[in-house]
Each structure stands twice: as structure tokens, then as C-alpha cells.
Structure 1
């Protein structure tokens, strides 16, 4: 029998008094816990027994003993109090951005290491924040945000969806990577014309950075030997390390990709890639989401200021 459901309406103060009596084991002890008089406690318990129609305590030789019904009621009240405490902890966590969930997405180059490092740092003192991180091509990200499957995302493309807000938060430059010992390694800067006739590792045909890179070489009439193609910049690094050719990738990839077989040099003319922060337009974002977005922008700026060599 659930006594709370069957009882006449009771006030929270009555429940607090009853709980204190059960914990203290006496009316006097409850009065001390609540800093009220003992008669006030006795009167409240008497009123509660009258309202519920249930005898809660037996009085023997000046002492009180809880009835079986009182123990059932106490169990229910403890469950309510535990729920209230959980709500208090939840509210506190929400207020200080330490509770909730974040659904994130990023383009592959940033999701390999940089974004996980930023997320891990953010969650270090937020163990109750749940994270989902999806690594996907930039062209897929606006749809994920529009369908509310993702809260915050990083893309190298702006959004083509009206309901998705896109803001440029950083820019990364392209660098040229060559196998160590390559004839061009002694140069301080690699120019597009230097790569004429070179075996070149290209990114995927639908990659926005590939389109920008090809446009530079086409504008200068430079003919490369496009022998290999890959959708991932770190895979291009692997081919270069094996001596299969040279490539142009973003400096962000080279901020974490380490291989002593690869030389990294500046490339001209300058090719820059924007990094866009995407979120749902017009939505009221939780404090946690806004706090993480600010943290992400700051940490990303710090990471990209570091030298890539």
C-alpha cells in the first residue's frame, strides 16, 4: 500500500517533521534537528495521524516506537527526498554547466585528435556531462544540425540550410608535405610552380579543399602527376611518408600528425580554409551548449597558434 497516495493532503512541513522523528527516534530529538519546540513536533505528528487516519507511533513509558505503517510511510518519504536531492544536484550541475549532454560533430581532420583533446579537457572536471562525437564529412553536417541530431559542429563548409547558423571561428592555411630527402626539402617556401611534374597525392574529388588546391595549380598552368587520391588528409600524409609523392594538406593536420619521414614547408600562393561553427538557428541553447561553444573557440584558437613544424 502506498500511504502517500492514499493519505489526505499533507504539507511538506509535516513530512519533514515526521521524517525527523523517524531519524532521531524521539520527539525531543526531532525538535533539536529542526530547532523547534518539542510540543510543536508532538502537535504536528498528532495532526498528521488525524489526517491520514493511521497511527504512526506507539507510546510506551514515555518513549515512542514507529508502527509498521510509519515505516512504510518513511520508506516512501525517503524516496521522495532522494528525488528532491537528485533534482537539486541536477539544478546545480545545470547552473554550473556540469550536467547534461552534448552531441558534437566535426570534419575528419579535426576529429582525429584536436577535437577529442578539447572535449576531453572540457569534461575533465565535468564527469556527469555525456558526450557523443561524430566524425563526418563537412557536407553532411548541416543536415545533422537541422535534424537536431547535433548541437554543435565544426565544418570547413558554411551551411546551405536556412535553419542552420554558421560562423567562421578560425582559419587554417595549407602547407606542403614532402618525403624527407626530396629535392625540394632545402627550400624555405614551396611555390606552386615547384611542383610541376611531381607525383601528387590528392584529396577526394568532392573535398572543398581539393577544389581550392586544384584551382591554384590550374591558374598557374602547373601540371602534377595525380597518381593517388584519398578522402583523408592523414592518409595523404601516410602516402607521403612512404615516398609515394608530395601533397598539400591543412596545417591543422600537421599540428598533431608526427612522422620523421615527412618534411612540412609553407606553400605559396596562400591557400586558407575557414573553420565554421554550426548550430541550430533561433534555438534557445542550454547553458552547457553555449559554454562548450565558447570553450571550443578559445581552445581551438590556442591550438592553432602553435607552430606545426
Structure 2
């Protein structure tokens, strides 16, 4: 069996530059080398692979079908390399570098920003890339290395990433203030008697709310269905109906015209940390996770005023 060619990253870099910029002149300028060096590199790559990569037409290089197919294969490699260079540059911006955090809305729009405020307060050289997306995007970002830390609710295991429970809590019922609701709890049966705002069936929280209604033998028939708990809280404020949402979103919307009650049957949810498998945590990650744990603990002990400092 013939030996596999030992192709250097430099040759692939030259190939990638020509594919992206179209000419040897532009490729040479981008790489900071001479045009003959680019041409020699392509000839060497063609020799080592045994594949014709470019047709030379009127002093221009026209990529062959094989070149286009091979370039698609190496695109992810150079995406990772550019990400590595960018990350190294970010780390040189300050003493402690850069942290990339992504979260689903219930934590991303509530407790996590307050934890970040504490995290950044004494770290003047730190920068943070922060995004709030749907659960599948959070998992993908952490798995692919685009984010260092992911935050979410109600995801306790996943084959592609590490999941660690930061805190456990329960979903709550929120109702328009004009509704007279005696006691400290509201059942699925009571909510089913009026207009109900449900969470979309494809979401994990939506599935858990539906299962709670079914567990009590109560029909689950939302008048309105929404994607996010925050949207449900806004609709409750508008007097459209009641909803069952996470307690973080409920607390941050407490100033709105809503009444919060414990929901029966109980729906336990976990606030979780998502990290990449096989990658050790940096000191920045450890520091942010510590602040997130404290913020969640403060919230459970004394409510949002304790976390936000509004006491």
C-alpha cells in the first residue's frame, strides 16, 4: 500500500487562500508571501495528492470540481485555526482574557446577567461574549467550542456535552392581578377552567407543563401558545390568561400586573451548567460558575432583590 502523502498545514493554507481570494496575487498578499511561493505551493500540493486542483486559463487559476470538493472538507479546519488565533488575541487583551457564555432565555434574561455583573466587577481586563438562544443552539455552541459555558433549564443529561446541576426549583403559576386567587397555590384544574397561555409543545418546559396537566387528569388546551416564558408573562400582564412559567422569569416580571402562586402538581426543574466534554475549565470559567451558583442561591433564599442588590 502506498504511503499517504505528508501534507503540511502551510500547503493547505495556500490552497484555502486561493480558493477564497481567487488569484495567486491576492492569496500571496493575504498570506504575506511571494506570488511564486503560492504557485510553487499549489504545484507541490497537486504532486503530493495526485489531484489536479486548478486549470490554468488566461493566467488565472480555475478550480476543478475536485478542488471545490476538497475545499469543503478543509473549511472546518481553518475555521478552527482562525478561532484559535482569535481566542489567543482575546486572551492578550487583558490579564484574564475572554469568556464566552450562551444561555437560554429563562436564565439568560434574569439571573445570569446579575451573576455576570458580579463576575466583571473586579476583573477590569476581562471581556465577555454573551448570547441568549434556544436550547438546541446553546448545546451546539458548547459542543462545537464556540462557547465556553452554556446555561439552561430542565436539561439534566445529554450525550454530546457535560451537564451539571447548579440549582433545583419549581415552575410557578402567574395570573392577571385582577383575578382573585385565594391561597398560596393554584392547581392545573383551576387553570384549565379559564383561558390558559401554554408554552410551545416542542420545548422541554412546554412538555413538562403538559405532562403535569395530564398527570392530574386535566385537559391541556391552551388558548394561546408561545415560545418563551417571558412572552407568556407579558400576555398574562395583558389580562389574556394565566400561565405556568419558570420562577426566574416570574420574579423578573414581578413589577408587572401579575400574581404569582405555587403550581400543583409540582414541576421540578434544574438550572444547569453545560460544558464541553474533554476540555478542562479555565480559571475564568470557574470564577463565573461560582458567581452563578451564588446568584442562584441568593435568589432561592431571598428572591430577586437579593441578587440584584435592590434590597
TM-score (norm 2): 0.64
Spell out the pairing of 1:161-200 with structure 2 (5 A cutoff). 161-162=159-160, 164-183=161-180, 185-200=181-196
Contact 1:254-1:308 within 8 A present in 2 as well: no
Q: State the shift of 1:160 in Å.
A: 2.6
* Structure 2 counterpart of 1:158, from 144, 156, 159: 156
Q: State the shift of 1:300 in Å.
A: 2.1
Contact 1:197-1:224 within 8 A present in 2 as well: no
| CA deviation string 1:190-222 (max 9, x = no partner) | 122222332110112211111111111112221
1:298 aligned residue: 294
Alignment gaps of 5+ in structure 2: 1-90, 306-311
Contact 1:142-1:159 within 8 A present in 2 as well: no
Alignment gaps of 5+ in structure 1: 1-89
Q: Which runs of 4+ in 1 moved over 6 A?
A: none
1:288–1:300: structure 2 CA closer, same or farther, 3 Å change rule?
same
| CA deviation string 1:149-198 (max 9, x = no partner) | 01011112235334x21111111211111111214x22321122222332
Output the CA distance in 2 between the equivalents of 1:243 and 1:224.
19
1:216 aligned residue: 212
1:259–1:293: structure 2 CA closer, same or farther, 3 Å change rule?
closer
1:201 aligned residue: 197
Q: State the shift of 1:147 in Å.
A: 0.6
Contact 2:177-2:257 within 8 A present in 1 as well: yes
Pairwise CA RMSD:
2.1
Output the CA distance in 1 between the equivalents of 2:304 and 2:126.
32
Larger radius of gyration: 1
Output the CA distance in 2 between the equivalents of 1:181 and 1:205.
28
Output the CA distance in 2 between the equivalents of 1:282 and 1:114.
27
- Asked if residue 128 in structure 1 is aligned to residue 110 in structure 2, the reply is no
Contact 2:118-2:291 within 8 A present in 1 as well: no
2:11 aligned residue: none
1:199–1:143: structure 2 CA closer, same or farther, 3 Å change rule?
same
Output the CA distance in 1 between the equivalents of 2:280 and 2:219.
51
Output the CA distance in 2 between the equivalents of 1:224 and 1:198.
11
* Structure 1 counterpart of 2:248, from 228, 233, 252: 252
| CA deviation string 1:257-281 (max 9, x = no partner) | 1334211111111111111111112
Output the CA distance in 2 between the equivalents of 1:102 and 1:111.
15
Contact 1:159-1:278 within 8 A present in 2 as well: no
TM-score (norm 1): 0.64
- SS of equivalent to 2:171: strand
Spell out the pairing of 1:54-69 with structure 2 (5 A cutoff). none
Output the CA distance in 2 between the equivalents of 1:235 and 1:297.
26
1:161–1:140: structure 2 CA closer, same or farther, 3 Å change rule?
farther
Q: State the shift of 1:223 in Å.
A: 2.5
Spell out the pairing of 1:79-94 with structure 2 (5 A cutoff). 94=95
* Structure 1 counterpart of 2:104, from 99, 104, 107: 107
Output the CA distance in 2 between the equivalents of 1:308 and 1:117.
10
